């Protein structure tokens, strides 16, 4: 009797996949108002933090929580100026938990701690629209429901006080449930508001009351966490905390400053009439401003504009960490506050524009040889730093003045370089000036474009400095330590014409004498070729193309 053979191999499933496709076509065009109750398919909008059902047909029996919506993708809209609905470029959503609005409306205080100065000062101030969520629909707060805004539109840290209506719902679908939701939106240019650091609720402000204290203590802010309890205990308050240092303190005015202020007050009488009045009123009210330049008949872009006044301000760099020491700029909040202050004391027929200076950079390109014993790598960097300090003295000397307008000759910069104790000689020296975003190469003299311009140094990476040969005995020149970057040229159409004077300029070869900044935006026309401009009877600029090619 033979042995029983082994059972045959039984395969085991290692992996199994199942897939299917299904689709349904629903034509809502033929449905009536009563189709909602008999619907077989549901439409959902997917939001970043939730979803909601929508129905594309207005129906009397549609529950209020299901909105009538014909768009499949969600739209983030706010009611802008003039009651027009606009898409929001950026929004901040704030969820409130444990809020009881069943009995009545309640006031809410929010501390918005922002990185002050992080807003782009070159952008216009943007309004912040506050809204609350009701049945998955956003409703804007009315002006009566925003009791206070100490942030000036999220331009500085401060307290916002809102009246929360009792109609707010907490069982929404587009955002997590069991929370009441607020929204702060900006329609455009979100860079015009500061970056948010932290947000706190249940906030009050405390003000210092002098009780014969040492006046010198106001010179430094009160450190964070210095206040930990109430002076008089209250049973309803469980805990008190001070998460940030105090602000807004100022020492008593010295006698010398008092005499100056009174003398200036007797002259301008609290009214902005002359250029001197504008400048002194700003310096008196805003101690963080170091210098003011008032330009009459000028707006933000143009000069010779009747009925406009441009006020250019430079912040005080002492005891401050400037974001860009080569181009110091006041914050957008400071500019807005100055504009409001001047508008209250100036004529109603004057349009006031408060701006930062326009900075035009200067860079140097040359070959240099150092004395024996000086390390080339170290002193190349030191030379760039010294030139930057020479062109922008306020960067290292807090007492140095920042001058508007002005000019600087190439020979003056060359003399400064040659007088460095570690420099042996310099060859192939030239300076370039940045105008309208492009470099004007090898200028004899750098001249400010208009009265609101400050000449400053370029960034260290823009300098092009090489090491020159020492003598004819050198077998080959030393390699440049700083490689020369490609020449900066205009992007897009190369030529720009003045429609009023019919003169054509070359953006890759213009000079300060062209005064491109004086051409109004509505008088500029761009061309890709000279032939296109010639066909419209444009003449060539003598400074850009040479006098032999110009009819002027």
The mean per-residue pLDDT over the stretch 66-94 comes to 81
- CA distance linking residue 402 with residue 454, whole number of Å: 7
DSSP string, 73-123: S---EEE-GGG-EEE-SEEEEEEE-S---SSS-EEEEEEEEE-TT-S-TTS
8 A C-beta contact, residue 185 and residue 131: yes
Query: Among the ranges 250-254, 367-371, 536-540, which has the highest mean pLDDT value?
Result: 367-371
Token pair, residue 454, equals 């400050």
Domains and CATH numbers, the chain: 13-74 (no CATH), 86-201 (2.60.120), 255-355 (3.30.300), 358-467 (no CATH), 495-549 (no CATH)
Is 487 a residue whose pLDDT tops 70?
A: no
- CA distance linking residue 350 with residue 404, whole number of Å: 23
The mean per-residue pLDDT over the stretch 380-408 comes to 87
Close Cβ partners of 87 (under 8 Å, ≥ 6 residues apart) = 75, 76, 77, 187
Give the pLDDT of residue 470.
52
Tell me whether strands 308-315 and 351-355 are parallel, antiparallel or unpaired: parallel
Tell me whether strands 539-540 and 503-506 are parallel, antiparallel or unpaired: parallel
Burial of 480 (0-12, 13-18, 19+ CB in 10 A): middle
The mean per-residue pLDDT over the stretch 56-75 comes to 72
Is 490 a residue whose pLDDT tops 60?
A: no
- CA distance linking residue 496 with residue 297, whole number of Å: 26
Is 237 a residue whose pLDDT tops 50?
A: yes
Residue-wise pLDDT for 327-360, tens only, equals: 888 889 999 999 999 999 999 999 999 999 999 9
The mean per-residue pLDDT over the stretch 402-429 comes to 92
Give the pLDDT of residue 268.
92
Give the pLDDT of residue 475.
45
The mean per-residue pLDDT over the stretch 353-375 comes to 92
- CA distance linking residue 544 with residue 539, whole number of Å: 11
Q: How confident is the model at residue 323 (pLDDT cuts 50, 70, 90)?
A: low
Is 493 a residue whose pLDDT tops 60?
A: yes
Q: Which of 82-86, 154-158, 362-366, 450-454 has the lowest mean pLDDT?
A: 82-86
Residue-wise pLDDT for 239-289, tens only, equals: 899 998 888 888 888 889 899 999 999 999 999 999 999 999 999 999 889
Burial of 457 (0-12, 13-18, 19+ CB in 10 A): buried
Q: How confident is the model at residue 27 (pLDDT cuts 50, 70, 90)?
A: confident
Top-confidence residue, 238 or 508: 238
Q: How confident is the model at residue 61 (pLDDT cuts 50, 70, 90)?
A: low
Is 539 a residue whose pLDDT tops 60?
A: yes
> In percent, how much of the chain has pLDDT > 70?
91
Q: How confident is the model at residue 55 (pLDDT cuts 50, 70, 90)?
A: confident
Residue-wise pLDDT for 291-319, tens only, equals: 999 999 988 888 888 899 999 999 887 65
The mean per-residue pLDDT over the stretch 358-371 comes to 92
Is 484 a residue whose pLDDT tops 60?
A: no
> In percent, how much of the chain has pLDDT > 90?
34
Give the pLDDT of residue 129.
92
Average per-residue pLDDT in the chain? 84
Give the pLDDT of residue 265.
92
Q: Which of 203-212, 257-266, 525-534 has the lowest mean pLDDT?
A: 525-534
């Amino acid at each position: 009797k033979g042995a029983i053979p082994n059972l045959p191999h039984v395969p085991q499933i290692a992996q199994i996949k199942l897939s299917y496709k299904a689709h349904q076509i629903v034509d809502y065009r033929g449905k009536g108002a009563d189709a909602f109750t008999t619907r077989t398919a549901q439409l959902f909008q997917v939001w970043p933090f939730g979803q909601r059902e929508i129905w594309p047909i207005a129906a009397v029996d549609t529950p209020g929580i299901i909105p009538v919506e014909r768009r499949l993708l969600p739209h983030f809209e706010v009611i802008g100026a003039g009651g027009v609905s606009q898409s929001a470029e950026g929004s901040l959503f704030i969820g409130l938990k444990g809020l009881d609005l069943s009995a009545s409306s309640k006031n809410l205080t929010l501390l918005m701690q922002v990185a002050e100065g992080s807003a782009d000062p070159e952008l216009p101030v943007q309004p912040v629209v506050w809204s609350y969520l009701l049945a998955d629909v956003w409703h804007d707060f009315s002006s009566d429901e925003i009791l206070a805004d100490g942030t000036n539109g999220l331009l500085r840290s401060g307290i916002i006080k809102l009246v929360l209506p009792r109609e707010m719902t907490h069982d929404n679908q587009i955002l997590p449930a069991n929370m009441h939701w607020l929204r702060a939106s900006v329609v455009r240019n979100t860079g015009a508001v500061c970056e948010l650091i932290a947000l706190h609720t249940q906030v009050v402000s405390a003000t210092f009351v002098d009780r014969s204290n040492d006046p010198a203590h106001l010179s430094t802010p009160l450190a964070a966490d210095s206040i930990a309890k109430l002076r008089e205990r209250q049973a309803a308050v469980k805990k008190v905390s001070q998460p940030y240092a105090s602000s807004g303190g100022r020492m008593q005015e010295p006698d010398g400053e008092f005499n100056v202020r009174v003398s200036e007050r007797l002259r301008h009488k609290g009214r902005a009439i002359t250029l001197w009045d504008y400048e002194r009123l700003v310096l008196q009210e805003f101690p963080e401003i170091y210098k003011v330049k008032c330009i009459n008949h000028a707006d933000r872009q143009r000069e010779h504009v009747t009925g406009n006044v441009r006020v250019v301000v430079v912040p005080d760099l002492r005891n401050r960490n400037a974001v860009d020491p080569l181009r110091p700029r006041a914050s957008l909040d400071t500019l807005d506050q100055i504009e409001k202050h001047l508008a209250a004391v100036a004529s109603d027929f004057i349009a006031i524009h408060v701006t930062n200076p326009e900075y035009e950079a200067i860079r140097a390109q040359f070959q240099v040889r150092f004395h024996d014993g000086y390390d080339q790598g170290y002193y190349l960097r030191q030379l760039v730093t010294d030139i930057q300090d020479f062109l922008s003295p306020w960067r290292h000397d807090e007492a140095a003045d920042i001058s508007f307008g002005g000019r600087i000759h190439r020979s003056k910069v060359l003399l400064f370089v040659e007088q460095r104790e570690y420099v042996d000689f310099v060859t192939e020296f030239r300076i370039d000036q940045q105008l309208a975003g492009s470099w004007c190469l090898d200028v004899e003299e750098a001249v400010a474009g208009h009265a609101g311009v400050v000449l400053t140094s370029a960034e260290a990476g823009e300098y092009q400095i090489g090491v020159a040969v020492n003598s004819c005995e050198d077998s080959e020149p030393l390699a440049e330590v700083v490689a020369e970057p490609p020449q900066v040229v205009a992007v897009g159409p190369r030529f720009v014409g003045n429609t009023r004077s019919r003169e054509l300029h070359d953006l890759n070869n213009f000079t300060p004498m062209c005064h491109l900044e004086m051409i109004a935006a509505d008088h500029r026309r761009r061309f890709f070729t000279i032939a296109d401009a010639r066909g419209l009877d444009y003449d060539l600029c003598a400074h850009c193309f040479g006098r032999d090619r110009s009819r002027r």
